[in-house]
Amino acid sequence: MSRILIVDDEKAIVFALEEALLDDGYDVRTAHCAEDGLDLFKDAPADVVLTDMKMPGMSGIELLGKVKTIKPDTMVVIITAYGTFDSAVEAVRLGAFDYIQKPFNIQEVKQIIRRAIAELNVDMTAKPALFQPVQAPLDIRERILSGGESLSGAVSINVKSIPLEGIGADFYDYFPVENGKIVITIGDVSEKGVDGSFIMIMVKSLIRSEASHSENPSEILTRVNTHIRSQGATVPITIFLGILDITSGTLEYVNAGHERPLFYQQNGILKPLAENGTFIGLFDNPSYEPVTLSLNNQDTLLFFTDGLIRAVEHKFTGQNPYDILESVVLHSAEQQHYRLADYLYSTFIENSSSLDDDIVILSVCLNSELVREKEVVCACDKDSLVLVRCAAEEVLRGIPVANNDRHAVLTALYEGMINALDFAYPERNPGDVRVLFSYDDTKLAIHIEDYGVGFDLGTYVPPDSETYSGLVKDRGRGIFLMRNLMDSVRIDTAPGKGTCLILEKTLANSGAEK
């Protein structure tokens, strides 16, 4: 049983977290100050420490350092609020696994705890060949078979993200908001390494927060910039932020010093979008005047960071990289449609040995030919939990599903994968697992298929539905939870046959909570 230590001077937060994590079967200990928390940790070291950053007396940062000295592999999660750039960056440097911003959602905390424990349990010396380091480290999404993603039933999105180190400082995001609109953003933090990565995460979080209050890209960027500047930050951040209105077929955007996206129209015309504002992060009162662009079905928008331009420049020495990129897009966009980012990756980057910058390529196509599937094929081991969850989050981000259903899907998926880990290959010689996400206008289906030993479903005994006895430890927990979380669960298995598990969740209507 994994042990969790919660440290926060707000008793209500400690109580809420303790109750939620006890319900999940963890051994939970609590303290209301860092000094008491450290004493508890010395007495019985925890697997995961969840600590507030700012408390009277010893801070969460100091506690992090002391915990890591005692037990270096402990996963420490920092609870923080906006306005703590320097301290949060220091937490990352000292080895914090993740951070949670106040106010937080209990379900998000549970998800982070699960990820921390999954990573803690990975044997770093015995990874299968699929996960051996490669010459140019790839974003986790690069291990997902390409195919794109459909968003809100009218837009297909294809992404390639290649950070040189770790998570990288280039960023992108896209998510639906109310009234049939989609926020699309891409940017680049001039600071690299850990500092740049953390600022990137904070900027993405701020954009999502401000987009929930405004549909004006100028207002969103102005507020994000104001918050960053109020913390004394002096880091230039180039960013494109657009709001796509599916109903009217328009894109209202601000391009704050970022690489100019390319706009391909089905009449064969290609043009770069305007740059209409200075980057954020350096000036207190930048002025942004949004531009409105009209779009038609089959039109394609290509967004990218400067790493792509550098890659093109290396490949075509002595030629203008922008001219090369525009020529390739002009002659390929019509055929590639929603796979344009994949195509540019294979053309300029895939076999390159001279990459020297993070790269993000994101193509957005208004296309009636929707991508309805995403597939992951990987080794059936604990690393796969992270990989499959990443794919699930990509899919869930693009379809109308309420927050409580989103959590149900992720939890059921996790249980299905855990069952495959625990029972498909009992000799701990992991074979493959295949996970296929598919969806239409009414439901999401997830197929989890292993090729292991299988089992006799007739021997399944569910936990006691009144007392939940056996729910935490005993065999049968996964099937019980999946059946209670999903609308339909089908299991095709037999001894010696392997197992195919099909989970289905009915999708919320377009007015559902996102």
- Say what the pTM is: 0.52
| Residue intervals in the chain for CATH 3.40.50.2300 | 3-120
Q: What is the pLDDT of residue 423?
A: 82
Per residue in 15-25, pLDDT (tens digit) is 888 888 888 88
Region 331-341 average pLDDT: 82
Q: Which CATH number fits domain 148-366: 3.40.30.10, 3.40.50.300, 3.60.20.10, 3.60.40.10?
A: 3.60.40.10
Region 78-105 average pLDDT: 65
Assigned CATH topology for domain 3-120: Rossmann fold (3.40.50)
Least confident of 144-158, 330-344, 380-394: 144-158
**For residue 396, what is the enclosing H or E element?**
helix 383-397
Pairing of strands 48-52, 75-80: parallel
Token pair in block for residue 182: 């989609």
| Average pLDDT along the chain | 79
Q: What is the pLDDT of residue 165?
A: 62
Per residue in 109-132, pLDDT (tens digit) is 888 888 788 777 654 333 332 222
pLDDT band at 89 (very low <50, low <70, confident <90, very high): low
CA 389, CA 382: separation in Å to the nearest integer? 11
Token pair in block for residue 45: 């070291």
Look-up: residue for tokens 């990137």? 200
Question: Is pLDDT above 70 for 150?
Answer: no
Least confident of 87-91, 100-104, 234-238, 396-400: 87-91
Question: Is pLDDT above 60 for 93?
Answer: no
CA 111, CA 385: separation in Å to the nearest integer? 12
Pairing of strands 291-294, 155-162: unpaired
Q: Is the peptide bond before 56 cis (omega within 30 degrees of 0)?
A: no
Please report, as a single letter, which amino acid is at residue 49.
V
Region 330-345 average pLDDT: 85
Question: Is pLDDT above 80 for 505?
Answer: yes
pLDDT band at 427 (very low <50, low <70, confident <90, very high): low
Which position has the higher pLDDT, 389 or 509?
389
- The count of other CB atoms within 10 Å of the CB of residue 446 is 23
Q: Order the strands of the 75-80 sheet from edge to edge.
A: 27-31, 3-7, 48-52, 75-80, 98-101
Token pair in block for residue 272: 């770069």
Question: Is pLDDT above 60 for 474?
Answer: no
CB 448 within 8 A of CB 493: no
Token pair in block for residue 376: 């992951």
For 204, 347, 382, 406, the CA distances from 391, given in Å and listed in that order, are 19, 24, 15, 13
Q: What is the pLDDT of residue 136?
A: 29
Q: What is the pLDDT of residue 51?
A: 92
Q: What is the pLDDT of residue 149?
A: 54
Question: Is pLDDT above 60 for 180?
Answer: yes
Q: What is the pLDDT of residue 371?
A: 53
- Percent of the chain with pLDDT strictly greater than 90: 26
Highest mean pLDDT range out of 126-135, 146-155, 237-246, 422-431?
A: 237-246
Q: What is the pLDDT of residue 166?
A: 53
Please report, as a single letter, which amino acid is at residue 234.
T
| Residue intervals in the chain for CATH 3.60.40.10 | 148-366
DSSP 315-364: HTTTS-HHHHHHHHHHHHHHHHGGGHHHHHHHHHTTT-S---S-EEEEEE
Question: Is pLDDT above 90 for 353?
Answer: no
Region 347-371 average pLDDT: 77
pLDDT band at 92 (very low <50, low <70, confident <90, very high): low
Q: What is the pLDDT of residue 127?
A: 31
pLDDT band at 139 (very low <50, low <70, confident <90, very high): very low
Q: 124: Cβ–Cβ under 8 A, 6 or more apart, which residues?
A: none
Question: Is pLDDT above 50 for 369?
Answer: no
Question: Is pLDDT above 90 for 142?
Answer: no
Region 144-153 average pLDDT: 44
CB 291 within 8 A of CB 273: yes
Please report, as a single letter, which amino acid is at residue 345.
Y
- The count of other CB atoms within 10 Å of the CB of residue 221 is 26
Question: Is pLDDT above 80 for 200?
Answer: no
Which position has the higher pLDDT, 141 or 53?
53
CA 338, CA 343: separation in Å to the nearest integer? 10
Question: Is pLDDT above 70 for 239?
Answer: yes
E strand segments, 212-299: 237-245, 250-256, 262-264, 270-272, 291-294
Burial of 20 per CB tally in 10 Å (0-12, 13-18, 19+): middle
Q: Is 63 helix (H, G, I), strand (E, B) or coil?
A: helix
Q: Is 172 helix (H, G, I), strand (E, B) or coil?
A: strand
Highest mean pLDDT range out of 76-90, 154-168, 391-405, 488-502?
A: 488-502
Question: Is pLDDT above 80 for 408?
Answer: yes
Q: What is the pLDDT of residue 500?
A: 92
Q: What is the pLDDT of residue 83?
A: 44
Q: Is 439 helix (H, G, I), strand (E, B) or coil?
A: strand
Region 214-230 average pLDDT: 90
| Residue intervals in the chain for CATH 3.30.565.10 | 373-506
Region 170-196 average pLDDT: 81
Give bridge partners of residue 243 from the DSSP assignment: 183, 252
Look at domain 373-506 and name its CATH class. Answer: alpha beta
For 25, 114, 138, 359, 465, the CA distances from 143, given in Å and listed in that order, are 32, 21, 8, 16, 39
Which position has the higher pLDDT, 210 or 351?
210
Q: 144: Cβ–Cβ under 8 A, 6 or more apart, which residues?
A: 374, 375, 376, 387, 390, 391, 394
Please report, as a single letter, which amino acid is at residue 294.
S
